[in-house]
Structure 1
Amino acid sequence: GSVGKTSTKDFARVALAASRRTWANERSFNNDQGLPTTILNAPDDTEVLVLEMGMRGFGEIARLCAIAGPHIGLVTRVAEAHGDRVGGIEGVARAKAELIESLPPDGIAILNDDDPRVRSMGEGFGGAVVTFGTSSRADVRIVGLAVDDRACATFVLETPWGTTEVRLAVAGRHMAHNAAAALAAVGVVGGDLDAAARALGDVQLSAMRMEVQRAAGGATVLNDAYNANPTSMRAALDALADLPARRRVAILGVMAEITEPEREHRDIRAYAAERGIEVIAVGTDLYGDQPVDHPVERAGPLVEGDAVLVKGSRVAGLERVAAQLLAR
């Protein structure tokens, strides 16, 4: 998927490990070097191998599937990430669909029912299709989604294998979809759903993915600096808006490799403004303001009761900004 790959992989690894011997990629080792390395490093007694797959163009996921030979394919969501390389979001969808097209006749596709482009990947697929989402037609259904004062999601998951309650320790209501996808994988392999749901309550994601940390001065720092596209940016801004705070600031870097950069960045600026979030741009004027060289100083005093989001594409390198904030 375009968003949620590593978080879903982290969730799936922990959820499956509650009842199966499981191995998974480290961090975002999802290319033609990291994926084979993950396979080769798997212990001999591994029962379930969780492999994150990334793409930057057509044919890349098909090539990874030729290496891995997956039995189950899970697609999280289609968004604008790398859209400039494949002719836009429809090209992204075609590239992601290579995973489902590569599954064997008895394979299983786990698809996000709330994303029409992902849902359509099941059309014409000869194997079994299991959908997850919030709609009544989803096989694995998120019900009663709410967030606590840390912006962490709680919900009930209704599945063909039973109903279970999920309480996440990771910020962002969008994480409910990633957790639901992981629990769908538990169900299709015959794992223990309740044990998996309990295990998700202790999951810590890979670095720079919705990390909620406390700065020395008491402010809350939401570090989601690993990468960014319009969909993940909106999700992170929603998480910031869900945090109880006197003041909310978003320090944002460029969203790279999208097809309409000027429009998309201005839309994100407007989205933040609608939620009462101040935006400080770093390294780009696409948000409509002149970028600043010292965003932490530009933010001014940040104290207990304030919340700051740090997010941008990998090229922006905003983890340095997050580190500066934590030291204040």
Structure 2
Amino acid sequence: MVNSARIELFGRDVAKLFLGAEDCSRGEGDKLDSIRFSGVSTDSRTAGEGELFFALVGDNFDGHDFVVDAVKRGAAGVVVEKSYKSKLSRELGEKGKGVPLIAVYDTLYALGELARFHRGRMKARVVGITGSNGKTTTKEITASIAETKFVTRKSEGNFNNLIGLPMMLLATKKEDEVIVLEMGMNVPGEMARLSEIAGPEIGVITNIGPVHLEGVGSIEGVIEEKGRLVESLPEDGTAVINGDCVYCRGLIDKIKSRVITFGIEGEADVTAVDVEDMGGDGIKAKFIIPSGAFHARLKIPGIHNIKNGLAAASVGVALGIPADDIKTGIEAIKPMKMRMEMIMTGDGVVILNDSYNANPVSMKAAISFLAGEARRKGGRLIVVLGDMLELGGYTIQGHEEVGMEAAKLGAGYLFALGNNAVDIARGAGERGMPPERIFTYPVGGHERLIEDLMGVIGPKDRVLVKGSRGMRMEIVVSGISSPAA
């Protein structure tokens, strides 16, 4: 997580943002007026000299417990929640003399307001990217395209929530011309708040599917939440919409900005023809944009990634980038760690490490890709799957469907890990996979799974490893991989 941002920030601006009449009368405003903060921090362990420390409250931590540590490390000011201020004033004592305690009702909201303030000072154009699948890949390709013409900054990793996104905005510099932000959501209201903070001029929806149902309750809830991004765009902004996604198309009438559609299944503003799946070498296609066409190779495996490339190309169109430069940006991209990452072992085994995250759509796409590789190049398909989290009422069905897909596409073995391993196994069994080729393990059963998996892997086998982030499926990848000879 991004927990520190170097930014020049005047205390008087902080006072205007956060201090009410009561605090000003107690002298906190006077303390702030003479301070120039060197940055913003949310982690006391890395808080730097002169920074403004935000005491955030999470499920497993409370930043107020570390305020004293932050001050010891040189924090020049601390943002705390009002209910903690008296207690912290006593704890700090002499150590806190001259260090303003800025009391707010909600420190997370305050962090967002500071980022929103900084966004208002920026001249850069902000691109916000959301969707049920492909956000990070689309963000990376988009940034690569933007970099051909503009000084570009992008979200690190997938820091796309109410902590990560504000910190990314606060890290922007005055020379930045385009900011590419990934925007995720787990609960109602989160996308609207992220849009309010980031103020994007270009908004992208890669696709919409049954993801985060635990937080929003239904696919209708997902549609509504994802739609908040494009509905927030200014009239002179641009919404980039997946024209192949029926849920995405349904949002178009609610959008007041310009709309660019992308897709390959019907009429779209940005499309591709002659799409060729090159297996581990990526995808080749003829990209067609309003100003012309070009042939390009996207070096990310998986035919489904053509749509992520089209989404990014659409942003290039919105930014006014010429076709040749869009092509250059697409071809500059390389596969990312733990996302359709092909690993060759010394004995010819190919591991598809797609362990960063998972949902039913991306699971099926990864299985389909590797099944095709096994057919073309020989070797068995072995599927190693972890739980897909946050599916709510779709949990059992979603896991069963993935098991069915593995069996339908000819998986020789299925290894399933987690609370829903039995559901994956049930689906595979119903589709005809022999029970002796199906193995299930409880949460945390990585070691036993690795041991059993190593007992069946043979030369030229294709092994998919995939699951939600919380399942830590990269442990399996580390356990079965070795450097190529």
* TM-score normalised according to structure 2 size: 0.65
What SS does structure 1 have at the residue aligned with 2:325? helix
* Counterpart code for 1:316: M
Taking the aligned partners of 1:39 and 1:264, their CA distance within structure 2 comes to: 35
Taking the aligned partners of 2:478 and 2:332, their CA distance within structure 1 comes to: 24
Taking the aligned partners of 2:266 and 2:473, their CA distance within structure 1 comes to: 39
What's 1:65 paired with? 195
2:417 to 279, 282, 286: 282
Q: 1:282 to 1:301 in 2, by over 3 A?
A: same
2:141 to 8, 11, 14: 11
- In the TM superposition, 1:75-154 aligns within 5 A as 75-150=205-280, 152-154=282-284
CA deviation profile, 1:204-226 (whole Å, cap 9, x unmatched): 24421111111233211111111
What SS does structure 2 have at the residue aligned with 1:19? coil
2:182 to 52, 68, 85: 52
What SS does structure 2 have at the residue aligned with 1:150? helix
Once the 2 structures are TM-superposed, how far is the Cα of residue 257 of structure 1 from its aligned partner? 1.2
Taking the aligned partners of 2:480 and 2:274, their CA distance within structure 1 comes to: 35
Q: 1:205 to 1:43 in 2, by over 3 A?
A: farther
Would you say how many aligned residue pairs link Structure 1 and Structure 2?
Answer: 328
Contact 2:132 2:207 in 1 (8 A): yes
2:380 to 242, 247, 253: 247
* Counterpart code for 1:233: M
Taking the aligned partners of 1:177 and 1:279, their CA distance within structure 2 comes to: 29
What SS does structure 2 have at the residue aligned with 1:171? coil
**Residue 291 of structure 2 is aligned to residue 291 of structure 1:** no
Taking the aligned partners of 1:145 and 1:308, their CA distance within structure 2 comes to: 25
Taking the aligned partners of 1:144 and 1:179, their CA distance within structure 2 comes to: 14
CA deviation profile, 1:66-96 (whole Å, cap 9, x unmatched): 1110001000011111112212212111110
What's 1:326 paired with? 481
What's 2:300 paired with? 170
Taking the aligned partners of 1:43 and 1:303, their CA distance within structure 2 comes to: 51
Contact 2:385 2:465 in 1 (8 A): yes
Contact 2:338 2:354 in 1 (8 A): yes
Once the 2 structures are TM-superposed, how far is the Cα of residue 172 of structure 1 from its aligned partner? 0.6
Taking the aligned partners of 1:286 and 1:28, their CA distance within structure 2 comes to: 29
2:167 to 37, 61, 75: 37
Taking the aligned partners of 2:458 and 2:146, their CA distance within structure 1 comes to: 40
Structure of larger gyration radius: 2
Q: 1:202 to 1:250 in 2, by over 3 A?
A: farther
* Counterpart code for 1:87: G
Once the 2 structures are TM-superposed, how far is the Cα of residue 296 of structure 1 from its aligned partner? 2.8
Taking the aligned partners of 1:117 and 1:252, their CA distance within structure 2 comes to: 27
CA deviation profile, 1:224-271 (whole Å, cap 9, x unmatched): 111111011111111112213311111000111112222211111111
CA deviation profile, 1:31-88 (whole Å, cap 9, x unmatched): 1111111112223211111010000011101101111100010000111111122122
CA deviation profile, 1:86-127 (whole Å, cap 9, x unmatched): 122121111100101111122110000000101111113221
Taking the aligned partners of 1:151 and 1:123, their CA distance within structure 2 comes to: 39
What SS does structure 2 have at the residue aligned with 1:100? helix
Contact 2:231 2:256 in 1 (8 A): no
Taking the aligned partners of 1:253 and 1:124, their CA distance within structure 2 comes to: 37
Taking the aligned partners of 1:323 and 1:92, their CA distance within structure 2 comes to: 34
2:155 to 21, 25, 33: 25
Contact 2:210 2:394 in 1 (8 A): no
CA deviation profile, 1:281-328 (whole Å, cap 9, x unmatched): 112322125523422332334344211110001111101001112138
What SS does structure 1 have at the residue aligned with 2:334? coil
* Counterpart code for 2:476: V
What SS does structure 2 have at the residue aligned with 1:18? coil
Between 1:34-43 and 1:110-119, the stretch displaced more is 34-43
Once the 2 structures are TM-superposed, how far is the Cα of residue 143 of structure 1 from its aligned partner? 1.1
Instruction: Tell me which of the two structures has the higher relative contact order, counting C-alpha pairs closer than 8 angstroms and 6 or more residues apart.
Output: 1
* Counterpart code for 1:250: V
What SS does structure 2 have at the residue aligned with 1:32? coil
Taking the aligned partners of 2:175 and 2:458, their CA distance within structure 1 comes to: 50
Between 1:316-325 and 1:192-201, the stretch displaced more is 192-201
Between 1:73-82 and 1:199-208, the stretch displaced more is 199-208
* Counterpart code for 2:197: I
CA deviation profile, 1:184-217 (whole Å, cap 9, x unmatched): 1011111132222233223124421111111233
Give RMSD over aligned pairs.
Answer: 1.6
* Gap runs ≥5 in structure 1: none
2:366 to 227, 232, 236: 236
Contact 2:146 2:329 in 1 (8 A): no
What's 1:264 paired with? 398
Percent identical:
35
